[in-house]
Amino acid sequence: MIYSILKYLPLIFTCFKGFIDNEKHHHKIRNYDQTKEKINTIEHLIIKLEKKLSECRNEIDDLRRHIMVSRVINIIFGILIIFLVIFMNK
């Protein structure tokens, strides 16, 4: 009985050593793999860019409104000046 267990002892030791080496390797990979942190950083930057893009779009819309109002005011003043020039000459 003991002889049969001793016969398989090198095989058991090799399997156990391989298991320990694999666990050490997996632990190193988990510690040095920063993929998740990089992905989180990229997601954070994308969110910041989306917010900035939204702010820029809102600012552009505000500027469009201001330009349209100033154009309408300029057209009204232009028409008033033309009418005043025409009626003042008569």
* H/E run at residue 90: none
pLDDT at 12: 79
Q: In angstroms, rounded to a whole number, what is the distance separating the alpha carbons of residues 32 and 48?
A: 27
pTM exceeding 0.75: no
Residue 33 carries which DSSP code?
A: -
Interval 17-70: pLDDT, tens: 888 888 887 777 666 667 778 889 999 999 999 999 999 999 999 999 999 999
Q: In angstroms, rounded to a whole number, what is the distance separating the alpha carbons of residues 20 and 28?
A: 12
Q: Report residue 49 as tokens.
A: 């860019």
